[in-house]
Structure 1
Amino acid sequence: MAEGPITKTLASTVVYRNPWMTVREDRVERPDGSRGIYGVVDKPDFALIIPAEDDGFHLVQEYRYPVGRRTWSFPQGGVAGVDDPREMAAVELAEETGLRAAVWEHLGRVDSSHGTSSQGCHVFLATGLTRGEARREHTEQDMVHEWVPRAGFEGMIRRGEVTDDASLAAYLLLLLRERHGIG
């Protein structure tokens, strides 16, 4: 398997920037000498938490502007000024659900939209949960938090009610850990 970059970056231009992301256009040269461009969205990594108890999971639902509808997912997000994925996970879990976890297990990291974005997702299993008050950001004012049994969660996936790629990938990491000790 080839290691390292096989496509050479000839030039990189930032075409858009805001506090949450940078969009750049890179002129590239492929191994065969042909040239082209890549549009890349650079965003910091985020944390996703699988809050598990009683053979079920705590989920959140909110309106997602880019897809124009409400969606269910595991709690997730990034925290400005926080680079440690585990710390970010604890902040996001408490903020979105009010839950605190006594036990944290890092299940892995997955790339988000790796064909267009540099962003990654750190997946954590959170257990030993205690309840507290959620402290959502203003942009999360419509968020709903609900516990769902595992069978119900899998039914939601089959019915297309959970379509968030990070949540689906996180659940696969959990299943691999449970079935094969991987994670």
Structure 2
Amino acid sequence: MNASHHRKFEEVTLRTEPIFQGKIISLQVDTVQLPNGATATREIVKHPGAVAVLALTDDGRMLVVEQYRKPLEKSQIEIPAGKLDAGEDPLDAAKRELEEETGYRCESLRHISSFYTSPGFADEILHLYASEQLSKGEANPDEDEFLELEAITLEQAQAYMREGRISDAKTVMAVYAWQLYKLTGSF
């Protein structure tokens, strides 16, 4: 696609009103001019980005953590993940988050995909990596993180998805990437 095709749908920002500035996210309301000349407002969440790791153990299990997710008012089972610090390289952040949440270290990571989590209202991009060369260390979660580590089989992961215990996009995508990897040998 050429650049003019992308501009065909462009919404030009006329005004930005900051609403909230938090530790992790900020919220703004943009007034935009639509392609047909009309104006509209867009509520936008700004996020620094995040990383997640599909970590596979020597015996063919995926490392996951269970934690309570307040917006959902329930616990979820997810792959290790976390937000990028300002200016942090996603690869370094992925290694850091893996060790903090699980206690496992990895020498190398393979990039699977980077994707926007909710482009209708947020600019958060998530970088998904995979690692198979893990060494056990000691977990060091953030002081406000309460996690329980589990190493699960693909069949357990699929059952957790059916039960709704795994239902976030990054972990669902990781399970499908793992299934593809088991079938084809590549992500």
CA distance in structure 2 between the partners assigned to 1:85 and 1:131 by the alignment: 22
The farther-off stretch of 28-37 and 143-152 is 28-37
Which residue is equivalent to 2:130?
125
Which residue is equivalent to 2:95?
90
Q: 1:104 to 1:26 in 2, by over 3 A?
A: same
Which residue is equivalent to 2:51?
47
CA distance in structure 1 between the partners assigned to 2:84 and 2:115 by the alignment: 18
Deviation at 1:36, TM superposition (A): 0.8
1:135 to 97, 117, 140: 140
Which residue is equivalent to 2:82?
77
Deviation at 1:19, TM superposition (A): 2.1
- Aligned partner letter, 2:49: D
Gaps of 5+ in 2: none
* 1:111-131, Cα deviation, whole Å (9 max, x unpaired): 011111000100000111111
TM-score, normalised with respect to structure 2: 0.89
CA distance in structure 1 between the partners assigned to 2:114 and 2:127 by the alignment: 4
Which residue is equivalent to 2:27?
23
Query: For this pair of structures, how many residues does the alignment match?
Result: 182
Which residue is equivalent to 2:41?
37
- Aligned partner letter, 1:46: A
The DSSP-based 3-state class of the residue aligned with 1:31 is: coil
Which residue is equivalent to 1:61?
66
* 1:30-64, Cα deviation, whole Å (9 max, x unpaired): 11122111000001111000111222201001111
- Aligned partner letter, 1:7: E
Equivalent pair of 2:158/2:175 in contact (CA under 8 Å): no
The DSSP-based 3-state class of the residue aligned with 2:35 is: coil
Pairs within 5 Å for 1:147-158: 147-158=151-162
The DSSP-based 3-state class of the residue aligned with 1:103 is: coil
CA distance in structure 2 between the partners assigned to 1:42 and 1:181 by the alignment: 36
Which residue is equivalent to 1:3?
6
TM-score, normalised with respect to structure 1: 0.91
Gaps of 5+ in 1: none
- Aligned partner letter, 1:151: E
CA distance in structure 2 between the partners assigned to 1:85 and 1:10 by the alignment: 32
Whose strand fraction is larger, Structure 1's or Structure 2's? Answer: 1
The farther-off stretch of 162-171 and 48-57 is 162-171
The DSSP-based 3-state class of the residue aligned with 1:3 is: helix
Superposition CA RMSD, Å: 1.9
CA distance in structure 1 between the partners assigned to 2:136 and 2:152 by the alignment: 16
Deviation at 1:179, TM superposition (A): 5.2
Equivalent pair of 2:84/2:90 in contact (CA under 8 Å): no
